[in-house]
Amino acid sequence: MTRLRRTIRENAVPFALISPAVLIILMVVLLPLIFSFYTSFSNYRLIRPDSLWDWVGLRNYKRIMGDWDFWVAFGRTVLFLTVALNLELLFGLGLALLVNKITWGQRTMRTIMMFPMMFSPILVGFQFKYLFNDTIGLVNNGLQSLGLTHEAIPFLVDRWLAFFSIAFAEIWMSTSIFAILILAGLFALPKDPIEAARVDGCSNWQVFKHITLPFLMPFIYIAMAIRSLDVARAFDIVDVMTGGGPAGRTELLWTLISRTAYDDARMGRANAMSYVAILLSIFFTWFFFNKLMEARKHLGAF
Amino acid sequence: MRNINKIGALSLATLMAASSVSASDYGSFDGYTLRVKLIGGAQYEPLYTLIPEWEKATGATVDILSRKSHFELDREMKQDIAAGNTDYCVFSNHTNFAPQYDVMTEPLDGHISADVLADFSPLVVSHATVGGKLFSMPRHSDVSNMYYVKSLYEDADNQAKFKAEYGYDLTPPATWAQASDQAKFFTDAPDRYGTHFAGKDEGITGRFYEMLVAEGGVMLNDDMSPAFNSEAGVRALNWFVDLYEAKAVPAGTTNYVWDDLGLGFAAGAVAFNLDWGGWAAYFNSDDSKISGDVGIVLAPAGSSGKRTGWSGSHSFSMTKGCDNQAAAASLITFLTSHDAQMLEARAGILPTRTQVWDDVIAEFKAEKNDYMVEIFAIYSDSMANHAFTPPLIAEWGEISNALWPRLQAAILGDKTAQEALDEAAEDVLEVMQDAGHL
């Protein structure tokens, strides 16, 4: 007890200085978290404030466990994440390698490359909704004018085409995040090991596979970690383009949760869904940070 | 049932004819600031240009705290209720969603005089009444009737071919069975489809609901348990499924809502279109490819003989916490007055006062605008005799959200109509249990 008192006394100034920050974090992060966690055990409905005190125990969680629609949306979110992240990585890597080769106008190119990131996701959603529309959409009209098809292709209706369409919009907007981060990695790449490899007679592919790529991996995993959090909470683009439909064919976790929370006003159940959904983000963050550590250890061999 | 974006420009022209207001009409509230939340959007804004007149007449000031679309305002209101933040006075409401806000709503009985109320269409007033209490004052109504491209129906070749194929004369559909035949007949994809329908959100729920009623079914039993997965429900849903399977509607119709439908019809993409009254002027405007070629008939009837007529009215309500209820009632009365309604009606929006129907039709007649005379004659009949609302309960939104993904699944062929409705009924049962109805 005296030790504690002494610690406080000796550190009074630092404690006083950090206390506003701690208080603010407690207020804006911890309290809402505790509150929302509590409501996930209640029958809280926004339009019935009294229902906040209607404790229902694990009912919301039990219902979610047996809710097929929720788990399909969960699985689809994982699939969406996997497809979007991998393709963004491939395209981003390709773009970065190409831009790295440019000797003239590279800065302009880098700026142009970042254009898609500058648009609001809602606008990107509207843009692709129009492009993929089955009757007045640019893509359909283009295909029909070129004589490639005589039918209207229902891009936003067909099960796989709709999934492809929302993934396309997401990838279009965010590939440049990968490209920029990988490009930063390429700029920082030491020249010595590459020159040594060339002297030893390595082919371009061997240099890329054994030197460039391992060196880029930490950058890639950082991009993956950031984007996995982004995509796991994908909402705007999907909500605008398909609203999770038709027939739930493009339903992702957050389109489902937002509808439950605000349109249905069932905040208790929506919060329970959110806590289950957050596990997904936690898993991906943990996974990519582990990979990042491994990649950095591997780099230590250089 | 609400978004009509093309009417704003038309309404502006009529603004100059705004009314004069005398102080004795609306009371005196010198120095008082009335806080309100109003629905925004091109269709709704022209009315608010009259507010300065009320301010001048009463000495009060109106502070508009929020001006958002119906769905955004709905979310905001739910958050207001949750946060106990309802210290404003007047808010835009909608008869079909009003029961959701009952916690914050001050019934208007006693605040609006019986004389004023007597001037409103009795059916519409009944739609605004929940559990015997007047929850809101109806501002304007929505109901859908059947617009069609006249030249397609008048074409002698079409008439002969149709008669040979279906055995009866080609006239605008009187029943939904005829509408189905005609949709298939007129389809010439991808250039033209027979028709299209709202395919998501409350749009498809509402269309299914009115078809259910026209087929003789009901949404809920008397004990509030779901009743829509009945034979009538399956028949109603199969009307949509059948047209989708026959490719007589665009494949993307399951993603369409009001703007897609209105603009599609105006672009000549379909032969007929069940749509709201607010679109009428736009269909016949210079922006429309079918201008001058638009006909209108009452919404067709289902197999029970009843016509479809899913309806609702935008309205104004008062909050329980309002600190000057007389001022709130005064503004609500002003915004639903004869002159205010004339302003909206001239733009093609359906009034709720019986006299306004007559007066606006007389105006259109004087202008020799036969098209709008015909439109208002049909819509007046529809609003007076055929319109009905969904069940007026707070859970309508939740019921709709449980239904529409299942309706889409049946339309797209993922499930049979019966399976889809049974699944939705299970969810609705849970909703009604959680809400304490069962």
Look up the CATH number of the domain holding residue A136. 1.10.3720.10
**Residue A7: inside a domain, yes or no?**
no
Cβ contact, residue pair B401, A266, below 8 Å: no
pLDDT at A295: 84
pLDDT at A294: 87
Our CA angle for B247, B252, B258, nearest 5°, is: 115
Terminal Cα-to-Cα distance of chain A (whole angstroms): 51
A278-283 LR contacts (CB < 8 Å, sep 24+): A280/A74, A280/A77, A280/A78, A280/A232, A280/A253, A281/A228, A281/A229, A281/A232, A281/A233
pLDDT at A46: 86
**Residue A219: inside a domain, yes or no?**
yes
For residue A99, what are the contacts with CB-CB under 8 A and spacing of at least 6? Answer: A106, A109, A110, A113, A179, A183
pLDDT at B12: 39
For residue A134, what are the contacts with CB-CB under 8 A and spacing of at least 6? Answer: A140, A152, A153, A154, A155, A156, A157, B250, B251, B252
Structural tokens at position B259: 């703007």
Residue B34, SS3 per DSSP: strand
Cβ contact, residue pair A49, B254, below 8 Å: no
In the predicted structure, residue B232 carries a pLDDT above the cut 90: yes
C-alpha span between B275 and B285 (Å, rounded)? 16
CA A39 from centre of chain: 26
- Mean pLDDT score of chain B: 92
Structural tokens at position B203: 């749009």
Structural tokens at position B30: 């010198």
Going by C-alpha positions, the residue among B165, B161, B163, B183 that lies closest to residue B173 is B183
Strand segments (E) across A187-300: none
C-alpha span between B339 and B118 (Å, rounded)? 16
- H helices of B347-437, where? 354-366, 370-381, 396-411, 417-434
Please report which confidence band the pLDDT of residue A296 belongs to, taking 50, 70 and 90 as the band edges. confident
pLDDT at B212: 98
A263 touches chain B (CB under 8 A): yes
B78 touches chain A (CB under 8 A): yes
Nearest chain A residue to B414 by CA: give it.
Answer: A247
Average pLDDT over residues A108-136: 88
In the predicted structure, residue A130 carries a pLDDT above the cut 70: yes
B192: phi then psi, degrees, rounded to nearest 5: -145, 140
> A156 CA to chain B: closest CA distance, Å?
7
Please report which confidence band the pLDDT of residue B175 belongs to, taking 50, 70 and 90 as the band edges. very high
Same fold, B8-142+311-386 and B144-297: yes
A152 to chain B: which residues are within 8 Å by CB? 189-190, 250-252
Cβ contact, residue pair B397, A48, below 8 Å: no
Please report which confidence band the pLDDT of residue B344 belongs to, taking 50, 70 and 90 as the band edges. very high
Question: pLDDT > 90: what percent of chain A?
Answer: 42
**Distance of CA B216 to CAs B188, B210, B236, B301, Å?**
33, 10, 9, 11
pLDDT at A38: 95
Structural tokens at position B124: 């519409």
B401 touches chain A (CB under 8 A): yes
Which residues span the domain enclosing A207?
Answer: 60-299
**Residue A46: inside a domain, yes or no?**
no
Going by C-alpha positions, the residue among B256, B285, B286 that lies closest to residue B195 is B256
Residue spans per domain, chain B: 8-142+311-386, 144-297
In the predicted structure, residue A277 carries a pLDDT above the cut 80: yes
Q: Which of B81, B84, B408 sits opposite A245 (nearest CB)?
A: B408
C-alpha span between B81 and B101 (Å, rounded)? 8
In the predicted structure, residue B10 carries a pLDDT above the cut 60: no
Cβ contact, residue pair A262, B84, below 8 Å: no
Helix (H) or strand (E) holding B94: strand B90-94
Residue-wise DSSP of B319-335: ETT-S-HHHHHHHHHHH
Least confident of A146-160, B144-158, B289-303: A146-160
Q: Which of B103, B411, B430 sits opposite A49 (nearest CB)?
A: B103
In the predicted structure, residue A246 carries a pLDDT above the cut 50: yes
Per-residue pLDDT tens for B65-110?
999 988 889 989 999 998 889 999 999 999 999 999 999 999 999 9
Helix (H) or strand (E) holding B149: strand B144-149
* pTM check: above 0.90: no
Residue type present at position B149: V
Strand segments (E) across B194-286: 272-276
Q: Which of A48, A157, A248 sits opposite B405 (nearest CB)?
A: A248
In the predicted structure, residue A190 carries a pLDDT above the cut 90: no
In the predicted structure, residue B16 carries a pLDDT above the cut 90: no
Per-residue pLDDT tens for A41-99?
999 988 888 888 989 999 999 999 999 989 999 999 999 999 999 999 999 999 999 99
B100 touches chain A (CB under 8 A): yes
Average pLDDT over residues B326-339: 96
B235: phi then psi, degrees, rounded to nearest 5: -60, -45
Residue B146, SS3 per DSSP: strand
β-strands B90-94, B129-130 pairing: unpaired
Q: Tell me, what's the ipTM?
A: 0.73
Please report which confidence band the pLDDT of residue B156 belongs to, taking 50, 70 and 90 as the band edges. very high
Number of domains in chain A: 1
In the predicted structure, residue A301 carries a pLDDT above the cut 70: no
The owner of tokens 């149709």 is B162
Per-residue pLDDT tens for B255-264?
888 988 999 9
β-strands B105-106, B133-134 pairing: unpaired
C-alpha span between B384 and B124 (Å, rounded)? 8
B321 touches chain A (CB under 8 A): no
Going by C-alpha positions, the residue among B247, B378, B198 that lies closest to residue A243 is B198
Average pLDDT over residues A274-281: 90
Higher pLDDT, A3 or B273: B273
Average pLDDT over residues B407-433: 95
B237: phi then psi, degrees, rounded to nearest 5: -65, -35
Higher pLDDT, A288 or B298: B298
In the predicted structure, residue B6 carries a pLDDT above the cut 50: no
Nearest chain B residue to A242 by CA: give it.
Answer: B255
Per-residue pLDDT tens for A254-273?
999 998 998 888 899 999 99
pLDDT at A106: 87
Q: What is the DSSP letter of B283?
A: H
The answer to whether B388 touches B211, Cβ cutoff 8 Å, is: no
Which range in A253-262, B2-11, B371-380 is most confidently predicted, on average pLDDT?
B371-380
Instruction: Provide the CATH topology of domain B144-297.
Output: D-Maltodextrin-Binding Protein; domain 2 (3.40.190)
> Does domain B8-142+311-386 match CATH 3.40.190.10?
yes
pLDDT at B406: 94
In the predicted structure, residue A132 carries a pLDDT above the cut 80: yes
Calculate helix-pair angle for A267-299, A213-232, nearest 10 degrees.
180
